[in-house]
Amino acid sequence: MKITCLFFGQLAEVTGRSSQKLTGTTDTDELKKRVQQQYPALEKLTFSIAVNKKMIQQNTTLQPEDEVALLPPFSGG
């Protein structure tokens, strides 16, 4: 199973990339753990997760070709 992980803002700066293809990731908790192992600096950062452009609040099962976005905290007015 292949999914696309998108990195935005400070997360893209830390990883040095805006996206990454991942295989064998079945849910968002596993994805988060994998990217934090690959990029340890992410463990110190707060970020939200969206699956197929929908914000999630809990672990979500991933399907082939899903798009997962890791989003830094939003601010503005």
Task: Indicate the domain borders of the chain.
Answer: 2-71
Sheet containing 48-51, strands listed edge to edge, beginning at the edge strand earlier in sequence:
19-23, 2-7, 67-71, 48-51, 54-56
* Residue 74: per-residue pLDDT: 77
Q: What is the mean pLDDT of residues 39-46?
A: 95
Residue 77 burial (CB count, 10 A): 2
Question: Is 2.40.50.460 the CATH classification of the domain at 2-71?
Answer: no
Q: What is the mean pLDDT of residues 53-73?
A: 96
Q: What is the mean pLDDT of residues 19-32?
A: 96
